[in-house]
Amino acid sequence: MGSHSSSAHGENYINCEKGLWSWLTTIDHKRIGIMYMIAVMFFFFVGGVMALLLRLELFAPNATAGVGQVLKNGDAYNQVLTYHGAIMVFMVIVPGIPAILGNFFLPIHLGAKDMAFPKINLLSWYVFMAGALLAVATFFLSKIDTGWTFYTPYSIRTGTSVVVMVVAAFIMGMSSILTGLNMIVTVHKLRAPGMTMHRMPLFVWAMYSTAILQLLATPVLGITLMLLAAEKIFGVGIFDPALGGDPVLFQHFFWFYSHPAVYIMILPAMGVISEIITAFSRKVIFGYTAIAYSSLGIAAVSFFVWGHHMFVSGQSELAGIMFSFITMLVGVPTAIKMFNWVATIYKGSVSFDSPMLFALGFLFLFAIGGVTGIMLATLPIDVHFHDTYFVVAHFHYVMVGGTLMALMGGFYYWFPKMFGKNFNEALARLSFVFIFIGFNVTFFPQFILGAMGMPRRYFDYIPNYEQLNKVSTVGSWLILIGFLIGLYAIVQGIRKGSKAVANPWGAKTLEWQTASPPPQFNFDVEPVVTAGPYEYR
Amino acid sequence: MSTDNVTHPHAAHVSHHFNDATQEYDSGKQGIWLFMVTEILMFGALLIGYGIFHHLYPAMFSEGAKQLDWKLGFVNTLVLIFSSFTMAISIQLIQRNQIKKAAMALAITILCGAVFMVIKYFEWTHKFHLGFYPGRFLDLAKTGAEHANLGMYFGFYFCMSGLHGLHVLIGMGLITWLLIRTIRGEFHSQYWIPVEGVGIFWHIVDLIWIFLFPLLYLVG
């Protein structure tokens, strides 16, 4: 335990410099993490409101007066759908855990004073905000309706602000690359004395694998989006079949990034879960190296599976079979993680505080998301389920049930450290109950709807689907209530929470060895690491 | 944060979060190399697209390549290779504290970049003059193109050489920044991380051109 000389005077990263300007020009990774948190929470709110609108529209068939016609027509529905997807993917789930929790805790986990490139870290926040605001601006220019995937040839023919939107996505990709690059160098070069690679917390391993993906996948998306912009402006003909181009090539390029991007979304969540489960089971994590290297394994395999998005695109059958097989292969490292987490809980002294509840919620929901993922990886089943609500339910279980549960859990877990305050535990648990139940009520019926044949992206449906859609929409209101309670718990905790101790959960990783909130340079004395991260018993 | 403490050149440039100059140097170098990986991947995807369509439409690509003046491209290749040489020399000179000569080498590098861009400018404007615009703007009647989708070749040509040219311009800007800092005496035998970083960027930009030149001008 480091001596708390500066923290004894109550000086920490929050109050060491005052004023809005000191935040906007800060190069402290912790403050940058908080700035990302505010931005991402705002975009999550916007994307969430759009999700509620979509569900409200689907509450009843359009023939029903009133609720069935919230969005006047299919165009409006497509636009809201596109912005919901694009905002949630590019501005919430992809940057979420890496930019907020990763920024804040990766250097502290390593015993470093800051990220390797603090100024680039700040730059990446500004780049992200510029891209995000540009993307939001298209909403007021001419709303795009392509879906977040910008599939050609439709995206070439529809409204012109597709160009602005893809430039915005390109800019946000730059930010993602800069963050990833920063993290890799930090892990390689800034570890404290004694912090070997195999003593790093598993959260760091997950962030490291994510950063590799960000670095290797994002440039390909960047050039793809630039080519799409060139296609729209100059009519080059690369993706336009009317000019001799190949629209499926766009899908190949797009998913070469965007499938690894799915793991950019989920790997950090797995890191958070590893931390929470070991801390709240009071047990050394089971299979440390297996969990660490399975992150790298998932990252590696993720580059060879993009074709499963294109089973019905007209690619060769052999390609379909290969992609089907390799996709199932991702299940192996993922299952390694799942079993290790369960083995960690087994015979542990489990305490069910709110972070652990979210972690257990993650295990439950991610298991469903993962198993349905294997179903969709199976070529013939995917041909049947393609572009139905089964797919919608699957990726919401993985991304929301996985990433968002982990983000909330990680947020409550590290809240006392980040703000030096305690939150209201009862409210946090209540928030979990609403989100967990609401989530299942919303998305489980969509598996059934999908199996019944309800197509995705449609703004109307036949009466057969009405009952399950009603249930699903009611579920979305429960999720809303859950997040509002959670938001209240967070705001109230920041404003009025009692003072937190340095290590409220009795956890072992480095961040708990410094004051809450941490001093400006993380540690008063540089820590020397002498043992692994989870020395519980 | 760095302070301008002249008496301790070592300590002067080590940022607050590094323990020593070696750690800072290694981090910077790894960072720039990782960034170069992303540059190569970005151009790599373009090259793959080029390869696919070259395979699909060999005659059309051959017609397009014949419109380019390989002599100008070759001169540009030599110019860039020479500029890589002067860039490397400048780092050597700074390491030996020969600051004036290093500044000269950097200035020559910028000059080479400028020569490259001027030649590129004449190539592009000449193409425009003849009606060779990218994509749908290609003037079929004026150019007398045999292949209706020759615009695709010129789409690739202008995208690839344009993106590369943009990198040359960015590189020239960065080297100008280095030149100013060198003249101010900020680099010396103990500290040259930014020079080496920009140098690596410049070499990679050259290397990419060495791939683009045969693909665009010579193949077919």
The pLDDT tens digits for A283-323 are 999 999 999 999 999 999 999 999 999 999 888 889 999 99
End-to-end CA distance of chain B: 55
Q: Return the residue in A127, A216, A231, A238 with the most chain B beta carbons within 10 A, the one to mutate for interface testing.
A: A238
Task: Print the SS3 string covering A55-123.
Answer: HHHCCCCCCCCCHHHCCCCHHHHHHHHHHHHHHHHHHHHHHHHHHHHHHHHHHHHHCCCCCCCHHHHHH
**Helices (H) and strands (E) in chain A — how many of each?**
19, 0
Question: Tens of pLDDT along B15-44?
Answer: 888 988 889 999 999 999 999 999 999 999
Q: What is the ipTM of this complex?
A: 0.89
B157-168 mean pLDDT:
95
Please say whether the beta carbons of B10 and B190 come within 8 A: yes
Which residues on chain B are in Cβ contact (under 8 Å) with A117? 27, 31
Using alpha carbons only, give the angle A118, A121, A126 rounded to the nearest 5 degrees: 135
Q: Which helix (H) or strand (E) holds B113?
A: helix B99-130
The pLDDT tens digits for A451-495 are 999 999 998 899 999 999 999 999 999 999 999 999 999 999 999
Which residue's entry shows tokens 């400018």? Answer: B121
pLDDT, mean of residues B97-102: 94
d(CA B123, CA B67): 11
pLDDT at B5 over 60: no
Find the closest chain A residue to B23 by CA distance: A189
Asked whether the beta carbons of residue B42 and residue A223 sit closer than 8 angstroms, the reply is yes
Give yes or no for a contact between B173 and A275, defined as CB atoms under 8 angstroms apart. Answer: no
> How many angstroms away from the CA of B30 is the closest CA of chain A?
7
pLDDT at B2 over 50: no
pLDDT, residue A65, reads 66
Give, as one character, the DSSP assignment of residue A313: T
Statement: residue B13 has pLDDT above 90: no
Average pLDDT over residues A161-165: 92
Q: Identify the pLDDT of residue B199.
A: 96
| Mean pLDDT of the residues in chain B | 90
Q: Amino acid identity of A180? A: G
- Amino acid letter for position B134: P
* Mean pLDDT along residues A358-380: 95
* Interface with chain A: mutation pick from B34, B158, B201, highest number of A CBs within 10 Å: B34
For A238, the closest of B30, B136, B155 (CB atoms) is: B155
Radius of gyration of chain B (CA): 21
Average pLDDT, chain A: 92
First to last CA, chain A: 19
Nearest to A238 among B18, B49, B133 (CB): B49
Other beta carbons within 10 angstroms of residue B16's beta carbon come to 12
3-state secondary structure labels for all residues of A3-21: CCHHHHCCCCCCCCCCCHH
Distance CA(A217)–CA(A208), nearest Å, equals 14
DSSP state, B215? I
pLDDT at A432 over 70: yes
Query: How far is C-alpha B214 from the geometric centre of its chain's CA atoms?
Result: 16
Distances (CA, A) of B126 to A207, A232, A508, B74, B121: 50, 24, 68, 17, 8
Q: Which amino acid is at A153?
A: P
Chain B CB contacts of A244 under 8 Å are: 56-57, 149, 152
What is the rounded average pLDDT of the residues A243-250?
89
Residue that wins the pLDDT comparison between A160 and A351: A351
Judged by average pLDDT, the poorest of A60-64, A207-211, A261-265, A305-309 is A60-64
DSSP symbol at A143: -
Tally the C-alpha atoms within 13 A of residue B90's C-alpha that lie toward its C-beta.
33
d(CA A401, CA A254): 24
What is the model's pLDDT at position A364? 96
CA distances from A162 to A136, A231, A261 (A): 12, 11, 21
User: How far away is chain B from the Cα of A183, in angstroms, using its nearest Cα?
Assistant: 10
Segment (H or E) for A311: none
The residue of B17, B138, B166 whose CB has the most chain A CBs within 10 angstroms, and thus the best one to mutate to test that interface, is B17
What is the pLDDT, as a whole number, of residue A68?
60
Q: Quick one: pLDDT at residue B8?
A: 42
Q: Which one has a higher pLDDT value, B8 or A431?
A: A431
Q: CA A325 to CA A92: how far, in whole Å?
A: 31
Contacts 24+ apart (CB under 8 A), A155-158: A155/A228, A155/A232, A156/A228, A156/A231, A156/A232, A156/A239, A156/A240
> How remote is the C-alpha of A295 from its chain's centroid?
15
Task: Give the DSSP letter string of B168-217.
Answer: HHHHHHHHHHHHHHHHTT--BTTB-HHHHHHHHHHHHHHHHHHHHHIIII
Q: What is the DSSP string of B121-137?
A: HHHHHHHHHHT--SGGG
> B159, A230: Cβ pair inside 8 Å?
yes
pLDDT of residue B1: 38
Query: In this model, does residue B71 exceed pLDDT 70?
Result: yes
Three-class SS state of A420:
coil
pLDDT over 90 at B53, yes or no = yes
Residues from chain B that touch A231, judged by Cβ atoms under 8 A, are 135
- Mean pLDDT throughout A495-523? 92
8 Å CB contact of B38 and A219 = yes
CB atoms inside a 10 Å sphere around CB A495: 9
Question: CA angle, corner B23, sides to B22 and B27, nearest 5?
Answer: 115
Q: Give contacts of A156 with chain B, Cβ < 8 Å.
A: none
Which pLDDT belongs to residue A439?
96
- The C-alpha angle B132, B137, B139, rounded to 5 degrees, equals 50
Helix axes A389-398, A354-377, angle to 10 degrees: 140
Residue burial A17-38, b: 16+ Cβ < 10 Å; e: rest: eeeeeebeebbbbbbbbbbbbe
Residue with tokens 């670095």: A215
In order of A42, A71, A381, A488, B9, the CA distances from A80 in angstroms are: 17, 9, 29, 27, 57
pLDDT at A4 over 50: no
B213, B77 Cβ separation under 8 angstroms: yes
B49 and A253 within 8 Å at the Cβ level: the answer is yes
* Contact state of B37 with A227 under an 8 Å Cβ cutoff: no
Query: A140-170 burial by CB neighbour count: b if 16+ within 10 A, else e?
Result: eeebbbbbbbbbbbebbebbebbbbbbbbbb
Tell me if residue A460 falls in helix, strand or coil. Answer: coil
Per the CB < 8 A criterion, the answer to whether A70 and A476 are in contact is: no
CA–CA separation, A363 and A341 (whole Å): 9
- Whether residue A79 is predicted with pLDDT greater than 60 in this model: the reply is yes
Phi and psi of B15, rounded to 5°? -65, 165
Torsion, Cα A397 A402 A404 A408, to 10 degrees, reads 130
Q: Which residues contact B85 (CB under 8 A, 6 or more apart)?
A: none
Placement of tokens 């009603």 in the chain = A470
Mean of pLDDT values over A341-354 = 95
Contact partners, residue A361, CB within 8 Å, separation at least 6: A401, A405, A409, A432, A435, A436
Specify the residue for token string 């392509």. A146
Nearest alpha-carbon partner for A501 in A520, A517, A481: A517
Region A278-284: what's the mean pLDDT? 95
The residue with greater pLDDT, A231 or A65, is: A231
Contact between chains at A236 and B149 (C-beta distance less than 8 A): no
More confident residue, B137 or B202: B202
Report CB contact under 8 Å: B45, A223.
yes
Q: Are B157 and B137 in contact, with CB atoms under 8 Å apart?
A: no
pLDDT one-digit tens code per residue, A15-45? 888 889 999 999 999 999 999 999 999 999 9
pLDDT confidence of A67, banded at 50, 70, 90? low
Query: CA of B101 to nearest chain A CA: how many angstroms apart?
Result: 30
**pLDDT number for residue A489:** 95
CB-based contact B86:B111 (threshold 8 Å): no
Residue A9 confidence (pLDDT): 60
Q: Do B45 and A118 touch (CB under 8 A)?
A: no
CA distances to B98, B102, B116, B178, B196 from B89, in Å: 11, 7, 19, 14, 11
A314 is written with which tokens? 């007209």
Cα A173–chain centre separation = 15
Nearest residue to A294 via CA among A338, A343, A327: A338
pLDDT in tens, B108-135: 999 999 999 999 999 999 999 988 988 8
User: Could you give the residue ranges of the DSSP H alpha helices within A115-161?
Assistant: 118-141, 154-157
Question: Residue A256 class from Cβ within 10 Å (0-12 exposed, 13-18 middle, 19+ buried)?
Answer: buried
Nearest by Cα to A406 from A460, A351, A371, A366:
A366
CA B207 from centre of chain: 8
